[in-house]
A and B are shown apart, each in its own frame.
Chain A
C-alpha cells in the first residue's frame, strides 16, 4: 500500500469520487457527478494517459456497478492487461471480467496477452490470467488456450493447479470435444492432499463425466477405490483448524466427493456397491446439530437415492428425510421436501407415511416451503386419498395468502380432474373452488367443468341448483359467475321446476324471476368483464324462451346494452332484442339446449392434438339435449367450445376474431331451409353452433337485426345458396367491400379503401366461369392477369338478373382468406334491370400471396331490393381456374 504507483492510496481520487457520489442527495445529483467523472475519464483516455489508466478503470468499475454505461472503457482494460506490472494487470483483468463478457468481439484481442500471461514467470500473474480465463472465456479462446491450461494442471504451486482445474471446467463446458485431453490430468488431481486442489479436481471430474462418457468409464474403472479412501480419510480426519467449519472437517470437500460418487454410481451396480459402506458411515456419523453437518447428510441422502438400489441404505435415507421433515429449522424442512420429491420414484409408500406432515407444510407461512410441499402433495395424490386431501386443500384455500391462491387453485383443479371418482364429486369440488377462488381458475378449467356438466345428463338439475346456491353465497368470483350464468341459461327450467332432484339435495324454491335476477346481477355487476356480460346476454336470450312470462323483463335488460361501448355487446343486444320482439316463432328453435360436447374430443382439443376441423363421431345422441327441433340427432363436437370461444373473445373489435366474425357477418353457415321451413337438415357439428349463435343470419324476410350495422339491406335467404364446406377455420378471411356497403365495421376490418380505377384490358388467358347462379341471379367471372405480376388477377364480374323484376340497391360483397388480398372497384351501377342484356359489372383485383400453391377461393354476398323487399344471397366460389 505504500508504493507511489498504487492507484488507490496515492491519488485518492477514487475515494474522492466514491465520497462525492455518496454525498449526492438525489438521483439527479448523482447523475451529474457521474457524468462529470465519465467526461474526465474519456478525456484522459483520449490523451492516452498512462499514469492514471488503472485509476480511471477502477472508477469506471464503480460507475458500472451503479448501473451506468461504461463500454468506452473496454479498450483500457486491454491496454492495462498488456502492461508489465502486476497492479496494472490486476486492475486490467478485473475490469475485463466486469466490463466485458464472452460475447464481445473485443475479447478476442486479449487472447494473445492471456497466452503470454499464462506462460509468465510470475505465478501471481499466471493466477490472474487463469482467473480471468475461467470466468469469461469464450469457445474460441478455450480452443486457443486449452494447451496452456492443461500444462498448468501440473504446475508446482497448488494455487495455480486449483485455478487451472476450475479453468478447465469452463473450457470443457465451452468445447466438450476437448474433454479427453483433461481426463488423465484430472485423475491425477484426485490424489492431491491439498484440499483446494482436491476439491477443484473433484469438481473437474464431475463436469468431465457430464460431457464425456469416456471420462465416466475411466473414472469408474481407475478411481473408485481412491475416491472412497479419500472420503473415508476426510470423514475420519482429526480436528484440523484450517478446514474446520462448526466442528466438521471441510464439509465442502465431503459434499463434492459425495457428488462425484453419485455421478459414478448412477447406473453402475459395481461402483454403487463399492461406496455402500462409506455412505452408511457418512450417514450415521454426520452431526445433525449444525447446518454444515446437515448439508453433508443431505448430499449423502441424495447419493443414496440416486445410485443403484441398496434396500438397507434407502431405508436409512428415508428415515433421515423423515427426521429432516420434523426439524424446527425451516431450511432443513425445505431440503427434506425437495429430496422427498426424488424419493417418490424410489419408494412411494415411505413418502406417503409423511403425508400429514407434508400437508402441514403446504400451510406454512414461508412461500418457499409451501411451494415445495404443494408440488410434493400433488405427486402423492392417488385414487384412494384424493377425497381427504382435496378437502384439506380446499379448506386451506379459504385462508391462504392471495399470492399462493393461483398455484393452489391450479393444483386442486388438476387433482380433481385427474382423480375424481364420480361426476357429482367433481362438480361439488369444482363449485367449492370456484366459490372460494374463482378469480384464479383458468378459463380452460371452466370450459372443462361445463363439458362435464353437459355430459352428465342426470346431473343437469343438480348442477344448476348447486350453482344457483353457490352464486347466491358468493357472487364476486368471475369464473363462478360465468359457469352459473351458462348453466342457468341452459337449464333454467330445471332450476325452477326442481327437475332431477337427488336424494341428498335440499329442495329450493326458485321462481323464474329469481333465475333472471341471477343473470341480471351478473350482467350489471361492474366487475364483470365483456366475456361474462356476453355470456349473460346469451343466457338471457335463452331464458326469454324458457320463461315466456319473463320475456318482457328480459327484453328490457337486453335493450339496456344496445348503447354499450363494446361492439360485441351492442351488436348482440340489438340482435337479441329483435329476436325477442319479432321472431318468437323461431326463438325456441334458436335457443335449444346446446348439444353435448364429447369429453374425449374436448380434452384432445385442450391438449392441442385435435385439429380445428373436428371430426364428429359421437354416434347416436342420448338425452333430449342432443335433439334439434326437427328431431334429427346431430353429432356435434365443436359447438360448445365454439360458443365459449366466441363469447370469450375479450376484444370487442371484430377484426380480432376474424373467422367467427365473418361467419356471423355473412351468415354463411346458416341453412336457408332451416329458417324458411323450420326444419333443419342434418349438418356437420360446427354448423349447429352457428345456427344457434349466428343470430344475424336466421332472419326471415322482414327486418334484419344486422341492418343497423351494415346497411339498409333486408335479409332474405335464397333457398339455393350453395353452402357446403364453407367453414374453413384454418384460414382467417379478410373482408373487402364495395363502396356502397362501406360501413364502419368494414373499415375497421381492413384498410383496403376501395379506390376507383379503370379496369385493365388484357387478353383473357383463362376461361370464364359462372361463379354463382341461383334462380334469380347469375354472376360470371372473367379473368385477366396484368403482365409481369403472376400473383395478381383482375376479375371482371358480370351480374345478370334472371328474374322478371328489376333489382335496386344492388350490392356485391366478397371476402377472401388471409393469403389473398382483395380490392373491389365500384360497380357499374346499383340497379340491375331484368333481362340478360342489361348487366352490371364490377372489377375485383386479387393478389395471391401463395401463388402456385393455393388456388383462389372467395365467399360472396349479394344484397338487393326487389319490389321494396330486401333479398340476400350468399355463396362460396372455390372452382376458380387453377394457377390464378
Chain B
C-alpha cells in the first residue's frame, strides 16, 4: 500500500503531498524534509529505492521534480517505479508537456488526476486513456 505521495522540486518545495495514512502536520513537514534530503543527492546511476524508517521510498526524478512514493517494505519496487512513470505520462498528456509551473498553478487539478489514478493507497485504474477520458468529463462539470 502507498503511504504517501510527494512531488518536490530540487529545492525541496512541496508541489503535491497526498497522505493515505493520518499524520500530524508537524510530522508531515518532517517527512517531507527527510524524504527530500534522502533523494536529492543520490547519483542518477543509483537505485530508485531508499529505505525510509520502516518503509521504503520509491522515487524518480523528472527534470527538476522528484516523484516519491512511500510504500510498504514488502511491496514490489519495480511496479511502483512503473506506476510513477504512468502518472507522469498522464500529467504530461493532460497538461500537454507538463512543467513545474503547471503543477504549481493547477495543483488542485493534479490532486484530481491523482484521485482518479490512486485511491486508498492502491492503484484504481491502469489505462491512461480511461483516466484522460474521465478527466475530460470532470472538466466539463467544473
The reply on A805 being an interface residue by CB < 8 A is: no
Closest B-chain residue to A67, C-beta based? B29
Q: Are B77 and A331 in contact (CB under 8 A)?
A: yes
Given A98-B111, A255-B76, A298-B76, are A124 and B119 neighbors across the interface (CB < 8 Å)?
Answer: no
The reply on B49 being an interface residue by CB < 8 A is: yes
Q: Report the Cα distance A369→B51, complex, angstroms.
A: 10
Q: Are B112 and A369 in contact (CB under 8 A)?
A: no
Contacts of B86 in A (CB 8 A): 245
Q: Are B126 and A199 in contact (CB under 8 A)?
A: yes
The secondary structure that dominates the A interface is: helix
Q: Are A86 and B141 in contact (CB under 8 A)?
A: yes
The smallest beta-carbon distance between B38 and chain A, in angstroms, is: 10
Q: Are B119 and A252 in contact (CB under 8 A)?
A: no
Q: Are A331 and B111 in contact (CB under 8 A)?
A: no
The reply on B115 being an interface residue by CB < 8 A is: yes
Closest A-chain residue to B107, C-beta based? A62
How big is the A interface, by class? 35 or more
Given A58-B108, A196-B125, A335-B77, are A291 and B22 neighbors across the interface (CB < 8 Å)?
Answer: no
Contacts of A163 in B (CB 8 A): 119, 124
Residue in B23, B51, B108 whose CB lies within 8 Å of A368: B51
Q: Are B47 and A368 in contact (CB under 8 A)?
A: yes
Contacts of B40 in A (CB 8 A): none
Residue in B79, B119, B129, B139 whose CB lies within 8 Å of A135: B119
Residue in A101, A103, A131, A251 whose CB lies within 8 Å of B82: A251
Given A196-B130, A330-B46, are A245 and B137 neighbors across the interface (CB < 8 Å)?
Answer: no
Closest B-chain residue to A240, C-beta based? B127
Within 8 A of A (CB), among B16-44: 16-20, 22-23, 25, 29, 42-43
The smallest beta-carbon distance between A431 and chain B, in angstroms, is: 32
Contacts of B120 in A (CB 8 A): 134-135, 166-167, 169-170
The reply on A294 being an interface residue by CB < 8 A is: yes
Q: Report the Cα distance A255→B29, complex, angstroms.
A: 33
Which of A87-95, A475-483, A674-682, A871-879 is near enough to bind chain B?
A87-95
Closest B-chain residue to A57, C-beta based? B108
The reply on B63 being an interface residue by CB < 8 A is: no
Contacts of B23 in A (CB 8 A): 101
Given A67-B29, A135-B119, A334-B49, are A162 and B124 neighbors across the interface (CB < 8 Å)?
Answer: yes
The smallest beta-carbon distance between B36 and chain A, in angstroms, is: 13
Given A15-B105, A199-B126, are A124 and B141 neighbors across the interface (CB < 8 Å)?
Answer: yes
The reply on B99 being an interface residue by CB < 8 A is: no
Contacts of B53 in A (CB 8 A): none
The smallest beta-carbon distance between A543 and chain B, in angstroms, is: 48
Q: Report the Cα distance A1→B138, complex, angstroms.
A: 11
Within 8 A of B (CB), among A7-43: 8, 15, 18, 22
Within 8 A of B (CB), among A556-577: none
Given A94-B112, A252-B79, A291-B82, are A366 and B43 neighbors across the interface (CB < 8 Å)?
Answer: yes
The smallest beta-carbon distance between B5 and chain A, in angstroms, is: 12
Contacts of A169 in B (CB 8 A): 120, 122
Closest B-chain residue to A333, C-beta based? B47
Within 8 A of B (CB), among A253-268: 253, 255, 259
Given A58-B108, A166-B119, A242-B130, are A331 and B48 neighbors across the interface (CB < 8 Å)?
Answer: yes
Closest A-chain residue to B28, C-beta based? A67
Q: Are A299 and B79 in contact (CB under 8 A)?
A: yes
The reply on B134 being an interface residue by CB < 8 A is: yes
Q: Report the Cα distance A124→B77, complex, angstroms.
A: 33
Binary CB contact string for chain B from 61 to 72 against chain A (1 if under 8 A, 0 otherwise): 000000000000
Contacts of B9 in A (CB 8 A): none
Q: Are A87 and B122 in contact (CB under 8 A)?
A: no
Within 8 A of A (CB), among B96-130: 104-105, 107-108, 111-112, 115, 119-120, 122-130
Given A195-B126, A291-B82, A295-B82, are A371 and B51 neighbors across the interface (CB < 8 Å)?
Answer: yes
The reply on A69 being an interface residue by CB < 8 A is: yes
Given A334-B77, A366-B47, are A94 and B122 neighbors across the interface (CB < 8 Å)?
Answer: no
Q: Report the Cα distance A508→B127, complex, angstroms.
A: 76
Closest A-chain residue to B83, C-beta based? A252
Q: Report the Cα distance A149→B96, complex, angstroms.
A: 35
Closest B-chain residue to A104, C-beta based? B22
The reply on A200 being an interface residue by CB < 8 A is: yes
The smallest beta-carbon distance between B28 and chain A, in angstroms, is: 9
Closest A-chain residue to B126, C-beta based? A252
The reply on A65 being an interface residue by CB < 8 A is: yes
Q: Report the Cα distance A305→B60, complex, angstroms.
A: 29
Binary CB contact string for chain A from 653 to 691 against chain B (1 if under 8 A, 0 otherwise): 000000000000000000000000000000000000000
The smallest beta-carbon distance between A330 and chain B, in angstroms, is: 5
Q: Report the Cα distance A292→B76, complex, angstroms.
A: 11
Q: Report the Cα distance A505→B135, complex, angstroms.
A: 79
Q: Are A368 and B119 in contact (CB under 8 A)?
A: no
Residue in A196, A294, A333 whose CB lies within 8 Å of B127: A196
Q: Are B126 and A162 in contact (CB under 8 A)?
A: no
Q: Are A166 and B124 in contact (CB under 8 A)?
A: yes
Contacts of A94 in B (CB 8 A): 108, 111-112
The reply on A61 being an interface residue by CB < 8 A is: yes
Given A196-B124, A330-B46, are A292 and B107 neighbors across the interface (CB < 8 Å)?
Answer: no
Contacts of B127 in A (CB 8 A): 195-196, 242-243
The reply on A159 being an interface residue by CB < 8 A is: yes
The reply on A102 being an interface residue by CB < 8 A is: yes
Q: Are B82 and A365 in contact (CB under 8 A)?
A: no
Q: Are B50 and A368 in contact (CB under 8 A)?
A: yes
Q: Report the Cα distance A1→B51, complex, angstroms.
A: 42
Residues in chain B within 8 A of chain A (CB atoms)? 14-20, 22-23, 25, 29, 42-43, 45-51, 76-79, 81-83, 86, 104-105, 107-108, 111-112, 115, 119-120, 122-130, 134, 137-139, 141-142
Residues in chain A within 8 A of chain B (CB atoms)? 1, 3, 6, 8, 15, 18, 22, 58, 61-62, 65-67, 69, 86-87, 90-91, 94, 97-98, 101-103, 124, 130-131, 134-136, 159, 162-163, 166-167, 169-170, 195-196, 199-200, 203, 241-243, 245, 250-253, 255, 259, 291-292, 294-295, 298-299, 302, 330-335, 338, 365-369, 371
Write 14 A-B pairs (CB below 8 A) sorted by A numbering. Answer: A8-B108, A15-B105, A18-B104, A90-B138, A90-B142, A102-B22, A134-B120, A136-B22, A167-B120, A251-B79, A253-B126, A294-B78, A368-B47, A368-B51
The 3 closest A-B pairs by CB, nearest first: A295-B78, A101-B22, A134-B120
